[in-house]
């Protein structure tokens, strides 16, 4: 079966029923519990986490490992049990992206990653000491690089 997703950004899309991700606890600051990941192609660095129920609600997300090689999600056992994750799960990890006018000002929220497994999603609080809310995705060129150019 297919689900019809109405999007103010992308128009009307038919997505497979199994592509709908249920967020039983919702997402921090957002309404709704049913979302889908939309990408132009499989290799896209950024994808949209789009509400199935609200045509206006879509947020950019990315796989943090593409930008932060040493990124880790640390959860205490109680949190892992609450959301039903185990070491055996094949869990996809995404972080929300804050877009800006300048590429150098794009950032990712490493503090509240989104974990997706088995058609269910959970936004969690990362217990890692190195998980800022606004981690720069792109580095500004050093002053000497600008002068040399």
Q: Which domain holds residue 42?
A: 2-138
DSSP state of 51: E
Give the CATH number for residue 113: 2.30.290.10
Could you give the CA distance from residue 129 to residue 70 in angstroms, rounded to a whole number?
Answer: 12
> What per-residue confidence (pLDDT) applies to 79?
85
Query: Domain tally for the chain?
Result: 1
CB of 35 closer than 8 Å to CB of 20: yes
Residue 147 lies in a domain: no
What is the spatial distance between Cα 23 and Cα 60, in angstroms, rounded to a whole number?
A: 17
Indicate the DSSP class of residue 73. -
Instruction: Return the ∠ at Cα 45 (arms to 47 and 48), rounded to 5°.
Output: 5
Whether 149 maps to a domain, the answer reads no
CA dist 68 and 20 (Å) reads 27
Does any domain span residue 144?
no
In whole angstroms, how far apart are CA 86 and each of 38, 73, 75? Answer: 26, 13, 11
Is 146 contained in some domain?
no
Contact present, 62 and 36 (Cβ < 8 Å): no
Task: Mark 21-43 as b/e (b = at least 16 C-beta within 10 Å).
Answer: bebeeebeebeebbbbbbeeeee
Please report the pLDDT score of residue 76 as a whole number. Answer: 87
Residue-level pLDDT at 87: 63
With a cut of 50, list the residues of the chain below it in pLDDT. 146
């Amino acid at each position: 079966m297919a689900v019809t997703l109405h999007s103010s950004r992308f128009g009307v899309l038919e997505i497979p029923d199994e592509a709908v991700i249920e967020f039983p606890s919702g997402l921090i600051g957002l309404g709704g519990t049913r979302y889908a990941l939309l990408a132009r192609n499989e290799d896209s660095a950024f994808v949209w986490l789009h509400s199935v129920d609200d045509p206006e609600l879509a947020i950019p997300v990315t796989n943090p490992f593409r930008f932060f090689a040493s990124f880790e999600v640390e959860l205490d056992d109680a949190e892992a049990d609450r959301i039903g994750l185990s070491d055996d799960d094949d869990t996809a990890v995404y972080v929300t992206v804050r877009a800006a006018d300048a590429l150098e000002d794009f950032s990712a929220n490493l503090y509240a990653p989104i974990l997706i497994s088995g058609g269910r999603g959970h936004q969690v609080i990362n217990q890692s000491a190195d998980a800022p809310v606004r981690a720069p995705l792109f580095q500004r060129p050093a002053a000497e690089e600008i002068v040399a150019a």
